[in-house]
Amino acid sequence: MKNSWITFPRPNPRAKVRLFCFPYSGASASMYYSWTDVLPVSIEVCPVQFPGHGNRVSETPYTDLPGLIDALEEAILPSLDKPFSFFGHSMGALVSFELTRRLLRRHNLSPVYLFVSGHNAPQIPDPTEPIHALPEADFLDNLRMLNGTPEEVLQDPELRNLLIPVLRADFSVCETYNYTDEILLDCPICACGGLQDKYVDREGLKAWSVHTTNTFTMRLLPGDHFYLNYDRMYLLQAIAQEINRVVDLRT
């Protein structure tokens, strides 16, 4: 039976590691499809598609993180039959972190590497005011300030009507999140961010280090909060290097 959560843009059963990629708010799995052109063939890129996004646009998106993690746990388990790694950006960083904790706690499973990008460590309270329930005009103003949604999309009534409910749901997932202490992870963590990111700073990235008993690495790359959309080469080189440190990727 086809798994609607996990996409395989270039299936590669001979790969040594599966890299599951979690999108940011409003984005779909397709944002990661081009990564297959750059990463070594020993890494199989497996973007995750949330309900309400991409080819699942007719489904109701989740509005809370616990419910999303419950569903993801069940959906991803069949694909964890070989070494795997997680990458998540912004909302995706939060999702990949909580899913990693869930898999360790309930199944004694850990990724060979956890990459968290564009998000301060989860124990740091979000200094910004919640926006998911704002009136539409105010919500759109905040989206423009975030600079992650093309203006032509916000100006198009049909596209806007499709996107706004999904974005509200995704922001609700993040803005209603409550961090709780748990057992530390045993996998290495790499925290990545844009040098010009106005929402995530060096200290916020460095604070991810407290969540693992393994090694911690921080990578600061050129660009703002959406740095990975503009120059992916540095990021993908870093991902391949870090995974190669723990898994021999030579074919």
For residues 221 and 235, is the Cβ–Cβ distance under 8 A?
Answer: yes
Q: What is the DSSP letter of 57?
A: T
80 vs 62: CA distance, rounded Å? 23
> Known catalytic residue: 90?
yes
Catalytic residue among 25, 28, 90, 172: 90
Q: How far, in Å, CA of 58 to CA of 186, rounded?
A: 38
Residue 216 identity (one-letter amino acid): F
Q: Return all residues near 42 (Cβ < 8 A) that are at least 6 apart.
A: 15, 16, 17, 249, 250, 251
Burial call 96-111: b when 16+ CB within 10 Å, e when fewer: bbbbbbbbbeeeeebb
Distance between CA atoms of 197 and 218, rounded to whole angstroms? 15
Instruction: Give me the active site residues, please.
Output: 90
